[in-house]
Amino acid sequence: MIKGSCLCGTVRYEIEGPFQYASHCHCSQCRKGHGAAFATYGVVASQAVTYTAGSEAITSYHASPTATRTFCRHCGSNLEWRGTATPERVGIALGTLEEDPLVRPRCHIFVGSRAPWYAIADDLPQFTADAAGHSE
């Protein structure tokens, strides 16, 4: 069981089951939503996530016709990325975890949208779209 929460602690959740993979996303939406050079998400089966507190404080933003992002309405913490084409899985913002997720990012995605002031300095594979070839 892996636990996580938002910045203010209102929203709390548990994940039962392993993450399928994790990646650093450099798309403009992730950069703007997180206020950082990139966002790191771990993908897990949707049914593996249970909100244990504060589910009423979760709100969503339909960032595009194919993606919804959830966050805490009190503190603004980014919680999830949900794709309409893949409702069976959810991307969890790894920065909200309180424990080691036992998964490490395997790549950088949407590097074509990378912040010009940030230089990727690791040896992970880089994709101009996502690892499956989807564009932003």
pLDDT digits (tens, 9 = 90+) for 78-134: 999 999 999 999 999 999 999 999 999 999 999 999 999 999 999 999 999 776 555
pLDDT of residue 132: 55
Q: What is the mean pLDDT of residues 30-40?
A: 96
Question: What residue ranges define each of the domains in the chain, with the CATH number in brackets?
Answer: 2-113 (2.170.150.70)
pLDDT digits (tens, 9 = 90+) for 64-75: 998 999 999 999
Buried b (16+ CB within 10 A) or exposed e, 1-20: ebebbbeeebbbbebeeebe
pLDDT of residue 67: 92
CA atoms 130, 132, 135, 136: torsion sign: negative
